[in-house]
Amino acid sequence: MDRLLNRRLVLQLSAAGAGVLVAGRAFAGTVYAAPPPLAKKDTYTVGFAQTGLTNPWRLGESKSMQDEAKKRGYTLVETNANEDTAKQIADVDSLIAQKVDILIFPPRETQALAPSVLKAKAAGIPVILIDRDVDHSIAKPGEDYVTFIGSDFVDQGRRAAEWLTKTMNGNAKIIELEGTTGADPAILRKQGFDDYLKGTFKGTPTAGGPQTGMQIIASQSGDFVRDTGRKVMQTLLQSHPDVTAVYAHNDEMAIGAISALEDAGKTPGKDVILVSIDGENAAMDAIAAGKLGASVESSPFFGPIAFDTMDKYVNGEALPAWIKVEDRFFDSSNAKDFQGKQF
Ligand code: AHR
C-alpha cells in the first residue's frame, strides 16, 4: 500500500502544481536530478523491450506501439524477452548499447528491472514505463525515469472483489489464480482484492467492513498464462472440490480455469462463479456464454498515450509521476457490445 500512497501523493502534488522534481522530494526528502532530457528532432529511435508475446494482451500492446510509431514516422526497435526476466534485462542492456533515443517498456518484474532503469539514466537515455511499474525504493518516477503510464492495479483487484462479494451474497470459497510472481499487477491486484475482503481497503469506495463469508481457500501463480492457469486449477480442484468462486488476475488464466472446471464436470457460471481482469475478446465471448461472470478492463493499447507523453517530454511539459489509465467494467450487461472489438 506504501507504493500506492506514494503514487497518490505524487499525483496530488503534481496536480497542485508542485511539479515532478518537487514531488520527488516527497519520497525521500532529497533533491534528485531529473531524468535525462530528450532533444527535439524530426524523428526518434524508440527502444521497446516487450516482456513476451505469449498472450493476446501482449500482442495487442506490441501492435499498438508499432502502429503508433509508424504513424509518427519514428523507428521502433522491439525486443521480445519470451517472459524471461533475465532476458528482458539483457534486452534493455542491448537497447542502451544501441543508443536508442528513449526507452519505453513494461518491466516484467518490479524489483528486477529497476536497476535497468537506473542504467538507462546513467547512459543519458530517458525511460517511460508503460503498463507495469518498478519498485520506487530503487528507481523513482520524475527522477530516475520520466513517468509511469498505467492502470490502478489495486483498484482493479478491489473492483473484482466488490463484484464477487455482491454476486456471491457475501459467501464464497475462492481460488485465486495469481499473475507472474514479482510483477506489479500480480502484487497489486492481490492487494486490492485481499484488502477489500478484509475491510481494510484504503481508497474509495471502501468495503463495509470485513467480508468474513468470503474465504480465499487457495492462491497460486498461473503466470498470466492460459495453460498454466488450467493446470494450476486442475491441481487445486483436487484438494479443494468445494470451491465456489475463482478470482483470476487475468482473463487468460480464467479461460484456462473454465476448461479445468469443465473437465472436472463442473459448470462454470453456475457451480463456480469466475471474475478476472483484462477485457480480451475471449473473455467477452465467455461472459456472453455465461461462463465468466465479469472482467475488469486493463487496456493494452498504450501506443497513443506513450508517444503523446514522449512528445510532451520533448516539449518540456510538466508530467505527473503516474499517468493513470481509466478502466471500464465488462459483465453480462455489456459484454455482447464488445465481442470481437477487443484484443
Ligand atoms: O501487466 C498487465 C498484465 O500482463 C495483463 O493483465 C496480462 O494479461 C499481461 O500478461
Which cell is 299 given? Answer: 487496456
Q: Residue 224 C-alpha to ligand 1 middle, in angstroms? A: 7
How many A from CA of 228 to the centre of ligand 1?
A: 14
Instruction: Specify the pLDDT at position 168.
Output: 98
- CB atoms near residue 97 (< 10 Å): 9
Q: Which atom of ligand 1 is nearest to the CA of 56?
A: 8
**Is the domain covering 153-298 a CATH 3.40.50.2300 domain?**
yes
Rounded to the nearest angstrom, the distance between the alpha carbon of 33 and the centre of ligand 1 is 32
Q: What's the rounded Cα separation, in Å, for the pair 292 and 262?
A: 12
- Write out the H or E segment, with its range, that includes residue 149: strand 147-151
Which residue, among 238, 277, 228, 245, has the nearest Cα to 176 in the 3D structure? Answer: 245
From 224, 281, 296, give the residue whose CB has the most ligand 1 atoms within 8 Å, as the site to mutate: 224
- Residue 249's φ and ψ, nearest 5 degrees, are -70, -10
Question: How remote is the CA of residue 318 from the centroid of ligand 1, in Å?
Answer: 28
Report the candidate in 211, 216, 232, 220 with the shortest Cα–Cα distance to residue 173: 216
Count how many Cα atoms sit within 13 Å of the Cα of residue 240 in the half-sphere of its side chain: 23
Atom of ligand 1 nearest to the CA of 184: 1
Distance between first and last Cα of the chain: 31
The atom number, within ligand 1, closest to the CA of 54 reads: 10
pLDDT at 12: 32
What CATH architecture is 2-150+300-326? 3-Layer(aba) Sandwich (3.40)
CA of 61 to the centre of ligand 1 (A): 10
Whether 2-150+300-326 and 153-298 share one fold: the answer is yes
* Beta-carbon contacts of residue 70 (< 8 Å; ≥ 6 apart): 76
The pLDDT score that the predictor gives to residue 5 is 33
Q: Which atom of ligand 1 is nearest to the CA of 131?
A: 1
Question: Which pLDDT score, from 0 to 100, does residue 32 have?
Answer: 47
How remote is the CA of residue 41 from the centroid of ligand 1, in Å? 33
At 147, give phi and psi (nearest 5°): -170, 165
Distance 226 CA to ligand 1 centre (A): 12
Residues with CB under 6 A from ligand 1: 55, 57-58, 131-132, 185, 224, 250, 252, 277-278, 298
**250 CA to middle of ligand 1, Å?**
7
| 102 neighbors 125 (Cβ within 8 angstroms) | yes
C-alpha cell at 5: 500512497
Torsions phi, psi for 134 (to 5 deg):
-105, 170
Substitution site in 50, 53, 54, 58 for ligand 1 pocket (most atoms within 8 Å of beta carbon): 58
CA distance linking residue 165 with residue 41, whole number of Å: 52
Burial class (CB in 10 A: 0-12, 13-18, 19+), 8: middle
Domain boundaries, the chain: 2-150+300-326, 153-298
pLDDT of residue 15: 31
Helix (H) or strand (E) holding 184: helix 184-198
Tens place of pLDDT per residue across the chain (343 aa): 334 333 333 333 333 323 333 233 233 333 347 999 999 999 999 999 999 998 999 999 999 999 999 999 999 999 999 999 999 999 999 999 999 999 999 999 999 999 999 999 999 999 999 999 999 999 999 999 999 999 999 999 999 999 999 999 999 999 999 999 999 999 999 999 999 999 887 766 565 678 999 999 999 999 999 999 999 999 999 999 999 999 999 999 999 999 999 999 999 999 999 999 999 999 999 999 999 999 999 999 999 999 999 999 999 999 999 999 999 999 999 999 999 999 9
Strand 245-248 and strand 172-178: the pairing is parallel
Q: How do strand 294-297 and strand 329-331 relate by DSSP bridges?
A: antiparallel
